[in-house]
Each structure stands twice: as C-alpha cells, then as structure tokens.
Structure 1
C-alpha cells in the first residue's frame, strides 16, 4: 500500500514540476517574442577613405541604422570588393546589396550617356541633370532596372581633367598631344579623348595607379581634382582642368535585395536616406574642385592653366565631332532626349 501511495506522490510531483517547467518556457518565450533579427545590408564603394563620398557613406550608415526599421550596415570601402565593373555584377547577382561607384557601360551601351563629354558646362546644369525629373535620370533609371538594379541616386562629384607625368604637346587645343593616356571602359570617353588629341589605353580604375607609376601610360583622364589628390598625387607631375566630363557616381541597389530582402518600411527609409545624401554633392562640389586644385599645387603637382575660352573651343569641337560618332551606339532619340533637359 505504501509503495502505491509513494508512486502516486511521485507521479503527482512529477506532473506538477512539468507544468511549472512548461509555464516557465511559455513565459520565457513570451519575453523573447518581440525580438527580431535586423536586416544586414552589405554596402560596397570604390572611394578612398579620405574622400567626401566616404564621409557621406559613414553618415548613411548612421542614418540607416538609426531609423528604427531594423537595418544594420556592413561597409566595404575603397574597392575592397572589386572595381566598379565587378561591383555591378555582384549587385546583379545579389551578393552585394548596395553600391556606390561609377556605372560603366559594359553591360548596356546606353549607360554610356553617363560618359558624354562636355554635356554640362556648369554646376547648376550638373544639379539638374543628376536629379529625379530630368530625362537623363529617367533614362538611367530605366536602363538600370533592366539589368536588375535599383537606382537610388546620382552624385555629381566635380569636373574631370587630365593628369600626366610630363607636359603634353598642344594641351590648350585639340592638336596631337604626343601622349598615351588611360581612359575607362567607355566608347564615349575613348572617342572624346582621342578627338582631344591623345592616344588612349583602357585600364580599370584599380589598376590605374600602378600603370601611371610604372610608366605604362603617360597619364590618365577620369578623375576630379579631389580624386586626383586623394589617390594619384604621388604618381603624377601635372594636372590639366579640361572639365571634359562630370565625375558622376551612382547609388544603386540589387533588385534582389530591394524586392526580397527589404520590407516596404525599410525600402522607404533606404530610398529617402540615399536621395538626401545624393542631393548634397553638387553644392559641395562647387567649392571642392577649386580647393583640391590648390591642394594639388601645394603638394607639388603643377596645374597647367586653361581659360574658359580655350575650354569652350575644345567643347564645341567635341560636340561637333565626337557626339555624331555616338549616335549609332546610343541612338539619336536618346541623345535628343538628354539635350532637351537644357
């Protein structure tokens, strides 16, 4: 009888303990229920750490993480994950979520509108061109979308000149320069630079510094005064402010990230943060080009002078000679639509 009673007591005690344990698990689970896992965005850039674009990217990280929508940012700066061409491919595949880099035309020739020479002549025109509402921005958005990319903003970081190791012949006009310089992978850039009197070699941005330093090329086109000072000043002796192109880099996201990884609230925050960041660039670049020309000169890089009239003559020739060569590649309608912005 005692054995039966003891078994009953043990069973009752066991059942009570199990109920208590189950209640504890429920309470503990309820305590954890509100916690969620933050969405981590892998953002890659090609800018040097001391460039303005990198300062802006650090602020973007703070704004995204502080928006209260469960976003975390992992930054890969200064081409750590590859060149602009490589990052575009990574974003299409979804292995990188967001990129800030120059958009090359190797995946779509129409994206070469980003490299049209002497398209704009001042900072006010630059601001209009790279803002939502312009024909240029609309075309760029459409072409990026077709590749599987979401346009988040365009940044005008200043005007582009030529850097060299020696003074080019006839640098004030479009006669032969007697130099071979680096250009990026753009037919528009190549044709325009050749029509300016230079021979050209296409080299990726990441390989440009050693190419200059080792004398593979005599110089390069494709950098603002800021980028020249930040990245190339030790490898050159001269800089010519042709203002031939706008240094336009782009904020864009992988559509796989945009459509599958982010919810509606997160998409709105990302869109707003990057639009705000992009809007700061033109005002900043108005003064930045001049300031960095002064810094280059102080470092020992000689600035070869050009007058507005000399630039105007070169610009008129490029528009008359180079642009028609691009009609077959870009289309008359595309060029006409961009020109209509002005």
Structure 2
C-alpha cells in the first residue's frame, strides 16, 4: 500500500510538469556527448528553499552562468518545492519528468544514499570537505549509486552543521540521560530516527513539506534535520528555541537526468559541469561563515539559542558513534563506514 501511495503521488506531480517536459531518451549509461546533434534545452531545476534564500540565489546564479556559457541551455529554477517534495522529485528526475534537482538525497529507492545524511558523520569543516567534495572517494560511491537511478551527479552543495528547533522549552538538552518526551520530526531515515531518540526526544518521521503545518498545529513539538539557515529561511515563525546539536552535516547534491545529459553535446555538458563546479567551490568558501550569521538572525527574530559547550558537543558525537553507528554499519556496510573513517583521519 505504501508503494502504491508513493506511486500515485509521483504520478500526480509528474502530470503537473508533463506539459513543460520534453521526452527523454532511454540510455542508462553516461556517454561522451560529443557526437550528439546540438539542440536547445530548457531544464527545470527544483529545490526546496524559499525564494530569495541563499540556496535560491545560488541556484539562479548557476542558471545564469550556464546561459552565459552556452545560450542553447536554459535552466529554470523552481524554489520552495513547487514541483514536489525532494523525495518525489528525485524519482521524477530519474524518469525524466523533471530534468534537475539541487537537494539532499532521498534513500527511498536506495537505502545506501541515506549515509549522506547520517548523524555525526563528521565533526569539522575539514572533515566535511574530505568526505563530501565532488572528487572524493566517498562521493564516487554516491555517483555510482545515482547512475543506477538514471541520474548524473554534477556537484555537491554544502550548507551547514544541523540542529533542532522546539516550540516548547527543553529541560536538560545536554543531558542524554534525560528524556524530554517531546515529539520531534526527523527525516524518514533510520539514522535520523536513532539520533533523535538518542538526544532524548520521541522521533516522529515526517516529510519535510508537512513540517510547518505540523509545528503550527501542535502535531509535533519540534523538528530536526535542518540548521540555522534552513530554519530561518522556512521555519522561523514556528520556532521558539534553536539547539545547534551539530547532529548532521547538511549537504545537497546537484544532479540531472542521465538521458538528458547524454543528449547534449560535449560543449553543453562542459557548460553545465563548469557552472556546477563553480557553485560547489564557492559554497565551500562561504558556507562555514553562514552558521553564526543565521544563528544571529534567528536570535534577532526572537528565537532563543540554546548554546552547547565543546565538551557537550563532543559527548553527543561520541555517544552517536558508540550507540548509533553500529546499526548504521549494518545498513550501509563496513566498507562505506571504513571509507568515511579513513577520509576523516586524512583531514586531521
């Protein structure tokens, strides 16, 4: 029944965008592209941040850079999940009904992709870059898994270390032996559920698009899975407290339908890839500075920031690797977890 419901929801979203979509090819492997006949493309690019947010501005800069490099390519940005929740849109990109997306990865089809949002996967920006940059060994495994879904990975988009928002006052949030008892939305991934429970909350898996109303109506008491910038951009009106747990590293992926990619000439592919590389490179420079900026914006808006000491943050990290990662190792495989550990060690 769950698969039927998901299929129906995807079909509905596909019907909404079908009229704007050109038919894709049927190839399942990446081709060189240089032998393709050059034609013009209009590419829908979906993301789920609000219009005018940093991600939206960056997506539109990417579109402008692509157009400037090759005027046969037009990237049309659709912010605020206008084309559907990112999980549904990822599947729509796979079948070619939406051409591109910039978002976190869904693990609905492939559970391995959930490792990109795994809790406390890294503790510093140096570790994050070693793991998640587009040329890393880790990202190569992600690229391969996405190709199995008929998706071509272009680059990554790093954002921040995440936290939680609550609309009820936390009791002892740094004490992992205290159960807050609050219902806190988390991503529909095993790691997110485990770490939310570890932090003392009752994990409530929920689609991102449902969170604002659920917070507004009291269905949930808080949410985890975003960070200061994300909460300020989309949830500041339903947040009373912000707790910067550093519980996950938020990284999005910019990708395109593989069939569409294979229809392009080498010059068109180069225009897209060059703009995608610039998008990522700029983010690695800017993103580390944004956290303090957006925590200040939340505070100025009236959201109370619950600060944690370095020792408390280290305790969260250690506890997660002791109690959560053994289960994640079973899910993602020892090779993947060892790769993450090795890349972190190299970053030190």
TM-score greater than 0.5 by the shorter chain? yes
Task: Indicate conservation of the 8 Å contact 1:91/1:98, yes or no.
Answer: yes
Match of 2:24 in 1: none
Structure 2 partner of 1:228 = 231
1:70-85 → structure 2 map (5 Å cutoff): 70-85=72-87
Deviations 1:77-101 (A, max 9, x none): 2110001101101100101111111
Quote the residue 1:126 is aligned against: 128
Which position in structure 2 is the counterpart of 1:55?
57
From the CA coordinates, give the structure whose radius of gyration is larger. 1
CA distance in 2, matches of 1:298, 1:46: 24
- Counterparts of 1:308 and 1:163 in 2: how far apart (Å)? 20
Structure-1 residue corresponding to 2:107: 105
CA distance, structure 1, for counterparts of residue 203 and residue 155 of structure 2: 30
Instruction: State which drifts further: 220-229 or 113-122.
Output: 113-122
TM-score (norm 1): 0.87
* Structure 1, gaps ≥5 residues long: 1-35
Query: Larger relative contact order (C-alpha < 8 A, sep ≥ 6)?
Result: 2
What is the distance in 1 between the residues matched to 2:107 and 2:261?
22
Work out whether residues 192 and 318 of structure 1, in 8 Å CA contact, stay in contact via their aligned partners in 2: yes
Choose from 135, 138, 141 the match for 1:139.
141
Quote the Cα distance in structure 1 between the aligned partners of 2:120 and 2:67: 39
In structure 2, the partner of 1:194 is: 197
Post-superposition Cα deviations, 1:28-63, rounded to whole Å, max 9, x if no partner, equal: xxxxxxxx8632112111111122111111111111
User: What's the counterpart of residue 6 of structure 1?
Assistant: none
- 2:7 is matched with which residue? none
Match of 2:211 in 1: 208
TM norm structure 2: 0.85
RMSD: 1.3
- The gaps in structure 2 that reach 5 residues or longer are 1-37
Contact 1:169 / 1:178 at 8 angstroms: preserved in 2? no
Counterpart in the other structure of 1:306: 308
Aligned residues of 2:134 and 2:156 also touching (Cα < 8 A): no
The Cα shift of 1:338 comes to 1.7
Match of 1:86 in 2: 88
State the Cα distance separating 1:133 from its structure 2 match: 3.1
Once the 2 structures are TM-superposed, how far is the Cα of residue 135 of structure 1 from its aligned partner?
Answer: 2.3
2:235 partner SS? helix
Q: Alignment length, in residue pairs?
A: 306
**Residue from 311, 320, 323 that aligns with 2:322:** 320
| SS of aligned partner of 1:104 | coil
Q: Which whole-Å CA distance do the structure 2 matches of 1:329 and 1:124 have between them? A: 26
Distance 1:72 1:154 in 2: 20
Q: Is the 8 A contact 1:153 1:252 kept in 2?
A: yes
Q: Which residue of 2 aligns with 1:154?
A: 156
* SS, match of residue 91 in structure 2: helix
State the alpha-carbon separation in 1 of the partners of residues 70 and 155 from structure 2. Answer: 22
The aligned residue for residue 182 of structure 2 is 179
Partner of 1:25: none
Shift of 1:169: 2.7
Superposed displacement of residue 318, structure 1: 0.4
Q: Per the alignment, in what secondary structure is the counterpart of residue 66 of structure 1? A: helix
